[in-house]
Amino acid sequence: MTRAELDKRPADVATMFDSIADRYDLANDVLSLGQDRLWRRATVRAVEAYSGELVLDLAAGTGTSSESFTGKGARVIACDFSQGMLRVGAERRGGASRRGVTFVAGDALALPFNDETFDAVTISFGLRNVHDVDQALRELHRVTKVGGRVVICEFSHIPFGALDKVYSTYLMGALPRVARLITSDSAAYEYLSESIIDWPDQPALAAHMQEAGWKRVAWRNLTFGVVALHRGFRAQ
């Protein structure tokens, strides 16, 4: 069985993602009923990276989203601590540095970048898996230039009781069973469901961001709040 527990020990999380790396993107499409593509497009629009800008895509995994940030000429550093996810990403692109995206191994809790390096930092479906969320938010703030922005795309909570109940039933019942058919590893997806249910809601995550130093924090819900996009700015 390959799964992390909710204490999210870094070695367990990295091993779990190593083990599902090959079929990770296919599983996303199926389990989200294709919604993941809409969520990724919304994230790219929120980051709005322009030519000459440098973007950090943290917990980039196989780099599924990373290349879309280069659309207007920005360069992207895709950083992750799972060697398996990085390997699959680099193999698919024919190298670790291609078409404006460079893969770099690194831990969100101690990023291998100087202060004020990036114009924009973003993390999609990664923050929930990090052992110390507040430390990761501080590290993202540290490596962002003054005036730069953060965009966090993460599973969240549906603010309507009845709909949230239906969604929780899907998460705990059907999702791990379908995932087993695709990845032969339902354990990693049981962790996914539990970690989503355990994750702070939209206002609580915004409060964590403010504590880490981010200003003008705001969010918007996607697919009724299944996913939320949080944004903030570095002021000093």
Write out the residues near ligand SAM by the rule CB under 6 A: 10, 13-14, 17, 59-61, 64-65, 80-82, 85, 107-109, 124-126, 129-130
Rounded least distance, CB 162 to ligand SAM, Å: 28
Three-class SS state of 215: strand
Q: What angle do CA 25, 26, 31 make, to 5 degrees?
A: 100
Nearer to ligand SAM, 129 or 193 (CB): 129
**In the complex, least distance from residue 11 CB atom to ligand SAM, rounded to whole angstroms:** 10
Nearer to ligand SAM, 12 or 164 (CB): 12
Burial 30-51 (b: 16+ CB within 10 A, else e): bbbeeebeebbebbbebbebee
Task: Closer to ligand SAM by CB, 120 or 236: give it.
Answer: 120
CB of 146 to ligand SAM, least distance (A): 24
Question: Does residue 62 have a known ligand-binding role?
Answer: yes
Q: Which residues contact 149 (CB under 8 A, 6 or more apart)?
A: 47, 119, 120, 121, 231, 232, 233, 234
Residue 198 annotated as binding? Answer: no
**Nearest to ligand SAM of 52, 134 (CB atom):** 134
CB of 48 to ligand SAM, least distance (A): 18
For 146, the 3-state DSSP assignment is: strand
Q: CA-CA distance, 66 to 61, in Å (whole number)?
A: 9
Two structure tokens written together for 45:
């629009």
Binding residues for S-adenosyl-L-methionine: 62, 80, 107-108, 124
